[in-house]
Amino acid sequence: MLSKVVQLALSKCLQQPFQTELDQQAYWLESGTQLVHSEPPLDATIEFTDSLPECYQLSLVITSDAGEGIYYLYKEQSHGM
């Protein structure tokens, strides 16, 4: 489960493109946009990535010309470098 700090930051990121929370809810209900708790596929074209607290990342991959996409929420991996 995500901490409250990460949940709040995630909510703020997802709210950014919308005027109100109702606009956000309507879009998510009508579109095919998804939120997945996983790293994006290696061959995906990432539109943008936001850094969240506790080393989480939120990346958007657009999947249609209508602007629908998949948000990938994942913990940034440390590669020991």
- For residue 60, the enclosing domain spans 4-75
Closest C-alpha to 75, from 46, 24, 38, 44: 38
Distances (CA, A) of 77 to 37, 38, 39, 56: 14, 12, 10, 9
In a domain, 80, yes or no: no
Entry pTM: 0.85
* Cβ count near 55 (within 10 Å): 12
Q: Looking at residue 78, what is its pLDDT? A: 59
In a domain, 54, yes or no: yes
Q: Looking at residue 81, what is its pLDDT? A: 42
Q: Looking at residue 80, what is its pLDDT? A: 46
pLDDT tens-place values along the chain, 81 residues long: 899 999 999 999 999 889 998 998 898 888 888 999 999 999 999 999 999 999 999 999 998 887 789 999 999 875 444
In a domain, 42, yes or no: yes
Q: Per the structure, how many domains does the chain have?
A: 1
